[in-house]
Amino acid sequence: MKIKVLPMGSIGTNCYVVSDDAGNAAIIDCDGDPRPMFFYISEHNLKPTHILLTHGHYDHIGAVKAVKEQYGCKVVAGKDEIRVLTDPAANCSIFSGGAMTVLPDEFVSDGDSITVGEMKFQVLFTPGHTEGSLCYIFEDTIFSGDTLFQGSCGRTDLPTGDWSTILSSLKRLRDLPGDYTVYPGHGPSTTLGIERSSNPFM
């Protein structure tokens, strides 16, 4: 498996291209000008089949339309994120450059798994930053969206955010057995072990 991080969009959202040895690929969140992602995908001969959304905020969905048009990817999101995805006030896009909505092709729930080539992504429901935020777990990696950051966690003052709910989600992540590399929606990667011992919100 190969993981490429591309900081994209107006606030440098981490967009990930995760691929297996056969070139099957999943894109995790995408914002901004998609050309650096297109370049990486064609340079490595990848075949993206899925866009996995951690949540519906404008800075995680801004390039979904363009990427879907380019590759015909299936867009996957949490079933409880529908309001954020389809309401430009709830996803904050009307305050950030223009109203935007995304209607996913597939909604997933806690415990579901999504198969992409040889890869299987497990869905962990981690609401709080938004009401339908998800993490995706693949082998020993967690794509944590805006739920967990290095030394911090996502804000909860935006529509559908809730502080006590994100704390429960962080506790759920903390209590996962074993260690994982954590790839967040913003900022550097970390490990669950480091966050368990040093993140004040865990």
Q: What number of CA atoms fall less than 13 Å from residue 79's CA on the CB side? A: 8
Looking at residues 150 to 169 of the shown chain, list those that interact with Zn ion (rule: CB under 5 A).
Answer: none
Distance, in Å, from the CA atom of 116 to the CA atom of 82, rounded to the nearest integer, reads: 23
**Piece in contact with Zn ion (CB under 5 A), picked from 30-38, 70-78, 146-154, 192-200:** 146-154
Q: Which of residues 11 and 103 has its CB atom nearest to Zn ion in the complex?
A: 11
- Check binding of 57 to Zn ion (CB under 5 A): yes
Question: Considering the complex, what minimum distance in angstroms separates the CB of residue 98 from Zn ion?
Answer: 17
131 interacts with Zn ion by CB under 5 A: no
* Least distance (Å) between residue 24 CB and Zn ion: 27
Q: In what order do the strands lie in the sheet with 190-191?
A: 113-116, 119-125, 134-138, 141-145, 181-184, 190-191
Answer for which of 64, 146, 149, 184 binds Zn ion (CB under 5 A) is 146
Q: Which residues of this protein are in contact with Zn ion, per CB under 5 A?
A: 57, 146
